Amino acid sequence: MPSTDFETVVVGGGAAGIAAARRLNQAKIRCLIVEARSRLGGRAWTVAGPVRSALDLGCGWLHSADRNPWVAIAEEQCRTIDKTPPPWRRRSLPRGFPEGDHREFLKAQEEFFARVSERAQKEPDVAAAALLAPECRWNNLINAVGTYISGAELEHVSARDFDNFDDTGVNWRVVEGYGATIATCGEHLPAALDCPVLRINHSGKRLKIETPKGIITADQAIVTLPSTVLAETDQLFAPVLPLKYEAARGLPLGLADKLFLSLEHAEEFEKDSRVFGATDRTATATYHFRPFGRSQIEVYFGGRLAAELEAAGEHAFFDFAASELTRLLGRAFVQRVKPIHIHRWGIDPFARGSYSYALPGMTDCRKKLAAPVDDRLFFAGEACSLADFSTAHGGWITGVAAAEQAITARIRA
């Protein structure tokens, strides 16, 4: 680290940290991103797959793409935006899910979302699962979809928070990778990599950011750590900030993991089609066939199922997928698939989960987590967003907002 003194330190170099540092840089504030990993991007991460395909192990969808700031950045970088409607907006493949059943499921799911909207802002807040229709045949599958959306079963998720999520329904992708777009955006920003922050000492006139590589001093810090990391890192702040710790505990990261499989003779399947592994249970994966037309399957696991598979090891994801695919498509089909990539976000020490949800009664935690302390500690990251939480654009929006607060505080000081 050539210099150890900055005006503003940005703790964490994911979507939020990159957005914050970019804004500070524009305002000519001397800032440094301090990032634990050897790369920028955090939960946005593109890796190389077969035939030069870019695989997004973290965020893949530009949700609310018609108002998502990353779209303009991807365009600035001359990336290719794919506007094919997402598989969840299309009819599932009929394997194991006849058309009549699929229609009935969609109707039950719509009715569930409507009940959540109708009840969400009333007191007291309840778990979203309380709004499932008693005895409905599709409850397990609705709950499975809940694990893909929130990373947790609906019994853990606040109905109000679930309803607060603002989605315009426009979902696009970046062919070269969403993660690659986000990392490239941070490329020219000053950053210290492989540099986990151990403590933020705010007892003196200047902040002391303690890392294994030494102490960095600064006037201000923007903290963008995942909520689970904030909740689980003992004594991150000195003196301790119990309100931040409590807010972070109300917003755990749910778990979602993606397994990429290669598929021989993929043309048999329609591009960007999907099938559920099972339609009668919550512990099931969803299979996206031929994403971008590639000879691949992107398998999505959520909630408790993902946690159990993580605990059993990487091979457990493939074994589970192979058993569901065998049941749906026969034993010979499974000979055509091979694992390419998986990342276990739950055991990743710098993420400890995939995206945040609020526990019932805890929606206010988002505002509490985002609130500045002493006009010199600022907070950003997807969990700080009231309506765009759990997304990379939520990360961007909160990062820019925290940078604006820091800039205003400098003018006031």
Ligand X SMILES: Cc1cc2nc3c(=O)[nH]c(=O)nc-3n(C[C@H](O)[C@H](O)[C@H](O)COP(=O)(O)OP(=O)(O)OC[C@H]3O[C@@H](n4cnc5c(N)ncnc54)[C@H](O)[C@@H]3O)c2cc1C
Alpha carbons 88 and 85: distance in angstroms, whole number: 8
Q: How many residues of this chain bind ligand X (CB under 6 A)?
A: 40
Task: Name residue 10's beta-bridge partners.
Answer: 33, 222
225 interacts with ligand X by CB under 6 A = yes
Alpha carbons 218 and 191: distance in angstroms, whole number: 14
254 interacts with ligand X by CB under 6 A = no
Residue type, 328: L
Q: Point out which span in 52-60, 213-221, 319-327, 404-412 binds ligand X (CB under 6 A).
A: 52-60
Among 22, 23, 43, 290, binds ligand X (CB under 6 A): 43
42: left (phi over 0), alpha (psi -120 to 50) or beta: left
Q: Which residue lies nearer to ligand X by CB, 29 or 55?
A: 55
Among 20, 53, 55, 63, binds ligand X (CB under 6 A): 63
Contacts of ligand X in 182-201 (CB under 6 A): 196-197
250 interacts with ligand X by CB under 6 A = no
To the nearest whole angstrom, how small is the minimum distance from the Cβ of residue 71 to ligand X? 12
To the nearest whole angstrom, how small is the minimum distance from the Cβ of residue 301 to ligand X? 9
113 interacts with ligand X by CB under 6 A = no
Site string for ligand X, 358-397 (x = CB under 6 A): -----------------------xx-------xxxx-x--
60 interacts with ligand X by CB under 6 A = yes
Among 276, 287, 320, 345, binds ligand X (CB under 6 A): 345
Q: What is the CA radius of gyration of the chain?
A: 22
- Closest by CA position to 299, among listed 327, 336, 262: 262
Q: Where are the alpha helices (DSSP H) in 28-120?
A: 69-76, 99-119
127 interacts with ligand X by CB under 6 A = no
Q: Which residue lies nearer to ligand X by CB, 131 or 173?
A: 173
Helices 392-412, 15-26: inter-axial angle, 10-degree rounding: 40
Among 9, 183, 256, 403, binds ligand X (CB under 6 A): 256
Among 8, 9, 10, 17, binds ligand X (CB under 6 A): 17
Alpha carbons 356 and 402: distance in angstroms, whole number: 19
274 interacts with ligand X by CB under 6 A = no
Among 6, 9, 10, 16, binds ligand X (CB under 6 A): 16
Kindly list the distances between the CA atom of residue 14 and the CA atoms of 69, 155, 204, 302, in Å, as whole numbers in the listed order: 15, 29, 28, 22
Angle CA 68–197–246, to nearest 5: 70
Q: Which residue lies nearer to ligand X by CB, 258 or 290?
A: 258
Burial of 223 (0-12, 13-18, 19+ CB in 10 A): buried
To the nearest whole angstrom, how small is the minimum distance from the Cβ of residue 107 to ligand X? 26
Q: Which residues contact 217 (CB under 8 A, 6 or more apart)?
A: 4, 5, 6, 206, 207, 208, 209
401 interacts with ligand X by CB under 6 A = no
- Closest by CA position to 171, among listed 89, 115, 111: 89
Which residues of this chain interact with ligand X, rule CB under 6 A?
A: 11-17, 34-37, 42-44, 58-61, 63, 196-197, 224-226, 229, 256-258, 345, 350-351, 354-355, 381-382, 390-393, 395
